Amino acid sequence: MNTLNFLPFPIIKTERLVLRQLIITDAEDVYALRTNKDVTKFIDRPPSRSKGDGLAFVNRITNSVRDNSVIYWVIALKDNPKLIGSICLWNFSKDHKIAEVGYELFPEHQGKGIMSEALIEVLNFGFNFAGFNSIEAFTHKDNLDSKNLLLKHGFIEDKGRVDVDNANNIIFIKQND
């Protein structure tokens, strides 16, 4: 079993983006992202009720990164550190061979290739640094943008599996090439 260690935190830079660590000053933006109706319309999770939920989320993620059970990046533009979205690897199998990828992006930044740019680097990190054999993604059956993103990056729908926690989700998987 490979041992995961996300400290020091791996900052990833792309042509247009910086994938950086979540920090306490992101709490308000996290709350805005996690309560945006367009962002959450396909996500089945309890709604955030107050801005304090953003702070609680930052603290929970910080602790999870510290104990190597999640790696969560803020997506920011290179010329502005403000959070415009997030992408993470989480829900690791016990043997650390499988991870799940999750992502969110404010609507005004969607359709510009930003999530595609971030996903390429996170897949590279997951396969080549963290040593996962496969990365899964669970997405709502009606979320065409998410399905297209996954297909574009070599994920294949795993038609034999069902998300027992959400019957509306379909599962995609990508193997390390």
> Could you report the per-residue pLDDT of 36-80, keeping only the tens digit for each?
999 999 998 877 778 899 999 999 999 999 999 999 999 999 999
Among 61, 59, 72, smallest CA distance to 11 is for: 72
Does the pLDDT at position 9 exceed 60?
yes
pLDDT number for residue 1 = 54
Q: Is the pLDDT of residue 110 over 90?
A: yes
- Cα end-to-end distance, the chain, whole Å: 19
Name which residue leads in pLDDT, 134 or 46.
134
Whether pLDDT at 5 is above 70: yes
| Confidence (pLDDT) at 50 | 82
Residue 146 φ/ψ, nearest 5 degrees: -65, -45
Architecture (CATH level 2) of domain 12-175: 3-Layer(aba) Sandwich (3.40)
Domain boundaries, the chain: 12-175
Is the predicted pLDDT of residue 139 greater than 70, yes or no? yes
- Whether residue 115 is predicted with pLDDT greater than 60 in this model: the reply is yes
Predicted model pTM:
0.96
Sequence letter at residue 12: I
pLDDT in tens, 25-46: 999 999 999 999 999 999 988 7
- Closest by alpha carbon to 105, among 79, 74, 136? 74
Measured over the CA atoms of residue 134, residue 93, residue 65 and residue 40, the dihedral's sign is positive
Q: Quote the distance between the C-alpha of residue 123 and its chain's center.
A: 11
Q: What is the pLDDT of residue 177?
A: 80
User: Residue 152 has which token pair?
Assistant: 């574009």
pLDDT in tens, 88-109: 999 999 999 999 999 999 999 9
The whole-number average pLDDT for the span 148-164 is 96
Distance CA 154, CA 167 (A): 23
